[in-house]
Structure 1
Amino acid sequence: MVTRSSPAPLSGAYRAVWRWHFYAGVLVMPFLMLLALTGALYLFKDEIDQAVYRPLIQVADGPGQAPPDAWLAAAAGAGEGLAANVLVPLRGDQAVRVRVDRPDGSQKTVFVDPHTARVTGVTAYGGVMETIKGLHSLSLFGRAMNILVEIVAGWTIILFATGIYLWWPRGRAVAVLKPTTVDVQRLPFWRDLHALTGFYVGGVVLFLAVTGMPWSAVWGDRFMTVVRETGLGRPPAPAAANPWSHAKHNEAPVGVSWTLQNAVLQGHAADDPSLARVMATAEAQKLARPYVVNIPSTSDLAWTVARQTRKAEDARSLYVDGQTGAVLADVRWSQFGLGAKAFEWGIAVHQGMQYGQVNRIIMLAGCIGVWVLAISGLVMWWKRRPPGLKPARLGAPTAPPGARVRTAVLGIVIPLSILYPLTGLSLLAALLLDWIVRRLAAAARPATF
């Protein structure tokens, strides 16, 4: 279906928004394409993990089980360090995975047959999926690059908002169900493909950008702090237990809900802590497998046992005294505040887990859509580029004059800049750069007499 009418001339506001849509695309698309590619791979985390490490994961099932503490001893020997956590699998034909922290600061994952305590293999911690995760968050390149994720997410929202403004019909012909031409050599095809992709998957990309913000180094930390301080986050520690403490480096429990990250409880000083004792408590409390048992490096901290879930509402974490096996806290979804629930739900949907296969397909469509938008945008720029374009210039749409035009653009981007300060700072830098470019362009024009 196509809305057909005579084309209207482009207004100054339209050209101004188009200019900033162009700049937003130039700024974020290379990073957004990387995030989309790694995000699409992460949607298939379980399948990739099984395919790569099948020989290490698969073990012969049997009725017996070796003592759990023997798993730790075997893993510590093979990994040449101290066992930090254990992933207890769902089925008996799968190896347990033990993270081992080595004296040099590196970490290893050791696969151990739960029936015989035999080591089946050793890999870098997290293996190939941990590398993909590091690329997705850009944390693999250091904290500075992780901050860049926040800027990219903010500009992605600007890209979406300006794209909707540009797509809006205003009496012009716009594609709604299919491109107006099948000739891929013509500009309308690429324009319509770009618009249609943005129309149908832009909402998914916007959702991914917004729900990805809590992972960022600056805004995410601020968001979680506000949620906790307003009582909308994790529940208070039980009266019988000590208050929550902030985990030290490498002490943060693995596998817990994001709301409970970095939160640990003090326990009784343990002279003889035991994984078997803690697992017996977890089984007695009917904690469903798979779950992760986090082993504290100091004897005065409780062991944290977290259920590995796909749906946010199935989250559950036990805090167990390593000496006595007593449950110090049993934290469930129902105890989370409203902010924490929204946060956890957004993460589960972002990762394609909350609503099963349909959820994963929709998120995958968003990731594919990013690449279609990037490629079609690049083709449109190439076809529209000014003749004789110099390498030092981008060929951006011309900036129309007038305060009213600038107000139209700033009306879109300023609210987002207030919500996301790093995006605002990058916007100021972009405005300054745009002003410099226009001044230089004006100075380079030959004078008229």
Structure 2
Amino acid sequence: MSGAYRAVWRWHFYAGVLVMPFLMLLALTGGLYLFKDEIDQFANRRMIQIAPAAARAAPGDWIGNAAQAGGGRAASLTLPGSPDQAVRVRVDRPDGSQKTVFVDPHTARVTGVIDQGGVTETIKKLHSLSLFGGATGKALNILIEIVAGWTIVLCATGLYLWWPRRRQGAVLVPHETDLRRRPFWRDLHALVGLYVGGIILFLAVTGMPWSAVWGDQVMGAVKASGLGRPPAPVAGAWQRAEHHDHPAGAGWTMEGVVLPSPSHDQSLTAVIAAAEARNLPRPYTVSIPAQPDTAYTVTAQVRRVQDSRALYVDPAKGAVLADIGFDRFGAGAKVIEWGIYTHQGTQFGQINRLLMLAGCIGVWLLGVSGLVMWWKRRPPSLSRVRLGAPTAPPGPRVRFAVPGIVIPLCILYPLTGLSLVTVLLLDFAARRLMRPRPVVS
């Protein structure tokens, strides 16, 4: 076994130790979120399903009853794609919490109230580790960014270890079928990594736009360069929305901004009529800003990125101030949005969802097989800071060969690069402390 191979194996081992627990959580929650529509329908069926009717209550009654039931201000509502489903109203409460209120659009009767988004929103927040909110949520989101970067390291080193050489090692089919032996788990680990590693790498890269540091920086750079959000189509400019006024469902490119409105009167009925007149397909979401001089934002809830569309409507006159579709996005925004929709498993239909699910299942197979392999070759004593990692090869050239290859991959992700340098220093310090000392006679 060459020194370079041992060095790569050592880094692959440590990357797995650092990444796998979090990556398995992301795979579990991400795999569940692929089926968010089915989970939502199962969990909230009694509140969602209503009797279809030709009559429709006034939209003002929908949000009025929802605000009363939710104990706050109606901030957005989603009109369903089917007449036998309830309207969903997001209600912002004075204590900062949010509720989802289901309202029968035919009678304005409230059919149920749940915490904002219900089960699927909890899964989503677990996936981004933002469930706790505040500084803790921010720190955990940064951790996810580091994990995504290390996943790239894990995939790159894993491919190197699998790559065919003179020795036997590159497998395309399993050579061993005895589950009690380590070679079986080695073959399983290698094959899963080979066949779904590309999907895992894709998920790691396309998940980065949501990250707290890298995502914000890239968003700013793409939009500032003219490759992202289109310029404001009316006099004035895009305005940054307050936290709870972020347009719901606006997507990565248009999130966080609103347009000013020349009118101060508000009429939800006029806004819905304008959306219907523009043939905006349902379901769509109407965001109701807290400030009266801000336009309503109406966003189509679509499954393919090319169908993305947002209307900005004067709430008094029902005049459409802007109609922004995917064709107006810059090249950078189009690429990132395409990656996001594919990441979520909707861009290419059922095959897209199944491929993303295969990546999630593959993460768990890699984690379990890696743990079993470690257990079968673990050192006899773990009390001496011996984790069973491959030994560091001698010589500075070999020791620093892998970081020299990996660090350029991490320059794109500074937090990952910083964590990599930290691990390098810790590894160096640990080897110095564990180095056998000469016996003094």
Q: How does the TM-score come out when normalised to structure 1?
A: 0.95
1:43 to 13, 31, 34: 34
Matched AA of 1:23:
Y
1:247 corresponds, among 217, 226, 241, to: 241
Code of the aligned partner of 1:447: V
Structure 1 residues 179 and 391 mapped into 2: Cα distance closer, same or farther (>3 Å)?
farther
Structure 2: distance between partners of 1:390 and 1:401: 24
- Choose the corresponding residue for 2:382, options 382, 389, 395: 389
CA contact (8 A) 1:241 1:328 kept: no
Measure, in 1, the Cα distance between the counterparts of 2:109 and 2:58.
12
Find the aligned partners of 1:64 and 1:176 in 2 and give their Cα distance: 64
Structure-2 separation of matches of 1:391 and 1:290: 60
In the alignment, structure 1 residue 81 sits paired with structure 2 residue 72: yes
What pairs up with 1:187-206 in 2 under 5 angstroms? 187-206=182-201
How far the C-alpha of 1:448 sits from its partner, in A, is 8.3
Residue 302 of structure 1 is matched in structure 2 by 295
Pairing 1:163-182 to 2, within 5 Å after superposition: 163-174=158-169, 176-182=171-177
Question: Is contact 2:163-2:170 (8 Å) kept?
Answer: no
The answer for the alignment partner of 1:152 in structure 2 is 147
The one-letter amino acid of 2:406's match is V
How many residues in Structure 1 have an aligned counterpart in Structure 2? 437
1:207 partnered with 2:199: no
How far residue 387 of structure 1 moved from its aligned partner, in angstroms, is: 2.1
Q: Partner letter of residue 285 of structure 1?
A: R
Aligned to 2:439: 447
Match of 2:361 in 1: 368
Q: CA deviation at 1:408?
A: 2.2
- Paired residue for 1:316? 309
Could you say which residue in structure 1 is the equivalent of 2:252?
258
Contact 2:162 2:170 in 1 (8 A): no
SS at 1:98 equivalent: strand
| CA distance, structure 2, for counterparts of residue 129 and residue 393 of structure 1 | 41
* Alpha-carbon distance change, 132 to 391 in structure 1, aligned in 2, over 3 angstroms: farther
Residue-by-residue CA offset, 1:1-33 (whole Å, 9 max, x unaligned): xxxxxxxxx100110110010000000100000
Taking only aligned residues, the RMSD between alpha carbons, in angstroms, comes to 1.2
Does the residue aligned with 2:68 lie in a helix, a strand or coil?
helix
Q: Which amino acid aligns with 2:4?
A: A
Shift, 1:366, TM fit: 0.2
CA shift for structure 1 position 229: 0.7
TM-score (norm. length: structure 2):
0.97
Q: Distance in 2 between matches of 1:391 and 1:137?
A: 35
> How far apart are the structure 2 equivalents of 1:258 and 1:43?
18
Does the CA contact (< 8 Å) of 1:62 and 1:92 recur in 2?
yes
For the 8 Å contact 2:77–2:88, the answer to whether it is kept is yes
* 1:222 partner letter: Q
SS at match of 1:250: helix
Letter in structure 2 aligned against 1:337: G
283, 286, 291: which one pairs with 2:279?
A: 286
Indicate whether 1:110 and 2:104 are aligned.
no
State the distance in 2 between where 1:30 and 1:365 align. 18
Q: Percent identity, aligned pairs only?
A: 67
Any gaps of 5 or more consecutive residues in structure 1? 1-9
Cα distance between partner residues in 2 of 1:447 and 1:371: 47
| Aligned residue among 340, 350, 360 for 2:333 | 340
Contact 1:161 1:412 in 2 (8 A): no
Secondary structure of 2:322's partner?
strand
Paired amino acid for 2:103? V
After TM superposition, the runs of 4+ consecutive aligned structure 1 residues lying more than 3 A away are 174-177, 445-449
